[in-house]
A and B are shown apart, each in its own frame.
Chain A
Amino acid sequence: MTTSTALPPAPASPGPRPTKQVPHNVKTSRRAAWIFAPSLLVSFLFVYVFIGITVYISLSNWKIGTSPNLSLRQPLGGTYAEIVQEQRFQADIRNVVIFTVIFLVLAILGGLIAALFIHHVSVGKGLFRTVFLLPYALSFIVTGVAWRWIFSPSTGVNEILRSMGIENPPGWTTDPTILGALNNPSGTDFLKVQFGIPVALLPIIFAAAWQLVGFAMAMYLAGLASIPEEHLEAASVDGANVWQRLRHIVLPQLWPSTITCFVLLLHVALKIFDLVVAMSGSGPGFVTDVPGIYIYNYLTSRYDKASAMAIILLLLTLAVIVPYLIRGYRKERKA
């Protein structure tokens, strides 16, 4: 297997800068800045300016794409006030929170356990690693159609459940049931959805975890490879058993890998779109609806609503990503 030779560097580990920078004169510096400028400007336009435009649209009266109405909606922010009261919006927020939490636990814990086992296996390490990472090379659409078939209510895993004596297995992506539902926990009429775990989300979470568990595994394997063997040997000599070595040496050293996995997988989970489209769409009563689908649906009829939801999704993502990037930037400066 070609994958067996090189592992990626331990992510997020600062590490000394391998090379000194070339001393430059002012003229060279200026030329360098000019060469970098076009990329920066294009990115600035397509990221920051376009986000600004989306913010403006979310505050405007622009509804249908072909007839722009750029007047600001009164009262300002009325579109946001409108959507947060919708049943669909509230379902989306519930779904994305549930999806993210369960998916992160499955993918990160699964990746950690897989890495710990694969790191110590004596035969076939490369093969195991290759198989675990294989789904990562697939499109979410391919993953989605495969898992749609696996959880198809009449021909999928339900056949196994029936043979085990479960007479009424769940309808999976077509099932409107909410597990552990709390009715109206706030006691006001603002909340229009039941809080709990939608059964229909579970197959989608399993599919996403299957696709990305290998990513977490690869991160953890890189982390494990960077732990000096001497530390573990010294601990063994001192009489530490497997659990003590795991708890006091291995897991603390893997913390940077965990942070990287957490941030990168969390932002994938917030943005999830393709997988849900391929597996179920919005689902009955929006049980599998997510912000990405909400935005797509309103692109034809309500530019303002689609934009407002997109900005909310953006803020959720930035809340995770910006601290992570700033942390990387600070480390870079210290180095």
Chain B
Amino acid sequence: MAVETLEATPSQPVREARRRPGKPAPKPRSWSLPKSLGGWIVLAVCTIATLGMLVPVYVIITTALSGSTGAPNFFLAFPDAPSLDAFKGAWTKLHGSLANSLQITVPAALISCLLGSINGYILSKFPFRGSNALFTVLLVGMFIPFQAVIIPVFQFLNMLHLQGSIIGLILVHIIYGIPITTLIFRNYYEGIPSAIIEAASIDGAGIWKTYFRVMLPLSVPGFVVAGIFQCTNIWNDFLFGFILASPAAWPATVTLNNLIGTTTVDYSELMAGAVLVAAPTVLLYLVLGRFFVSGLTAGAVK
């Protein structure tokens, strides 16, 4: 049981339940070349569109490889003598901020996931009167433009003497991460049979004991989905870092933006910096894409 649930993505139990019993699962598509003219046209369109989508990626990488002699004269040109020199310059300017981003992202993502998990557990397995309405009230926090709270947040952090610090940023990311992680975990736990909770409660386990002994061990996929979602969001954040961080606490996105000079832009160094800032989230996406996609639809309130 536990193993099966561990392997399931949050969406699967729901889909299994929806499928009528007795119907065979649709056959997996086999890898075969198209058999009709229409099939070839579909393949051709997909290939061309995909190559088009890759143009900016190509541009970032080739420009980053054009070395210290400056960016090429044309954005699609491949550098005559590819070199990693631009990366050296970008690393010198960015490594401090990359470390900041890491120090902000990891604890903020972990803590907001843990809180979301507890909330999701309560909302899906122990709903109380009005809990659904309160949950909707909580969800609004996910969508508000943060500019509408930024002055009070700034003043609040000032009061705590956390203004400009990494701790302050972590705190803000945790607080504004609660709605989305609660939503992800609530949807995830709805797919876990309540019978498990009932069994634990018959055995005399309380809410907390059931959570730590039964629910938490079943939550690994939920934590992966919510964790990826939060890591990507927090790593890619610009607004909070831009307004709330002092230069020593700048996340990588802010420093990357500052590489754009006021008059001239060293595009090869800028692109090398873009590669460095993008690398962690892109790697996360390429390695754990399945979970990434599950988190993506989390914003879609069911």
Q: Which A residues are closer than 8 A to B by beta carbons? A: 1-3, 5-9, 11-22, 24, 28-33, 35-36, 39-40, 42-44, 46-47, 49-51, 53-54, 57, 65, 114, 117-118, 120-125, 127-128, 130-150, 152, 155-157, 159, 210, 213, 215, 218-219, 222, 226, 229, 260, 264, 267, 270-271, 273-274, 277-278, 291-292, 295-296, 299, 303, 306-307, 309-311, 313-314, 317-318, 321-322, 324-326, 328-329, 331-333
Contacts and interface: CB of A to CB of B under 8 A. Distances in A.
A286 B298 CA distance: 35
B125 interface: yes
Question: Across chains A and B, which 9 residue pairs bring their CB atoms closest together, nearest first?
Answer: A11-B300, A3-B289, A32-B126, A8-B297, A139-B236, A328-B301, A137-B285, A50-B152, A50-B149
Contact of B239 (A20, A46, A274): A274
A57 B145 CA distance: 17
Contact of A20 (B194, B201, B299): B194
A43 B178 contact: yes
B56 A210 contact: yes
9 contacts: A50-B152, A117-B46, A132-B50, A137-B284, A139-B256, A150-B56, A215-B296, A314-B144, A321-B140
Given A18-B17, A121-B42, A139-B236, A43 B302 contact: no
A82 B28 CA distance: 62
Contact of A12 (B57, B207, B294, B302): B302
Contacts of B257: 141, 144-145, 274, 277-278
B230 interface: no
Contact of A19 (B9, B53, B57, B190): B190
A122 B29 contact: yes
A30 B128 contact: yes
A229 B26 CA distance: 8
B299 A264 contact: yes
B98 interface: no
A307 B43 CA distance: 51
Chain B interface mostly: helix
Interface of B: 9, 11-15, 17-18, 26, 29, 31-35, 39, 42-43, 45-47, 49-50, 53-57, 59-60, 63, 71-75, 115, 118-119, 122-123, 125-129, 131-134, 136-141, 143-145, 147-156, 175-176, 178-179, 182, 190-195, 197-198, 201, 206-207, 232, 235-236, 238-239, 242-243, 253, 256-257, 259-260, 265, 267, 270-271, 273-274, 277-278, 281-282, 284-290, 292-294, 296-297, 299-302
Contacts of A124: 43, 46-47
Contacts of B296: 8, 133, 136, 215, 218
A12 B154 contact: no
A122 B32 contact: yes
A36 B46 contact: no
Contacts of A159: 74-75
Given A127-B50, A139-B281, A219 B239 contact: no
Contacts of A157: 75
A313 B282 CA distance: 31
B178 A155 contact: no
B50 to A, nearest CB: 5
B267 A149 contact: yes
Contact of A142 (B49, B274, B284): B274
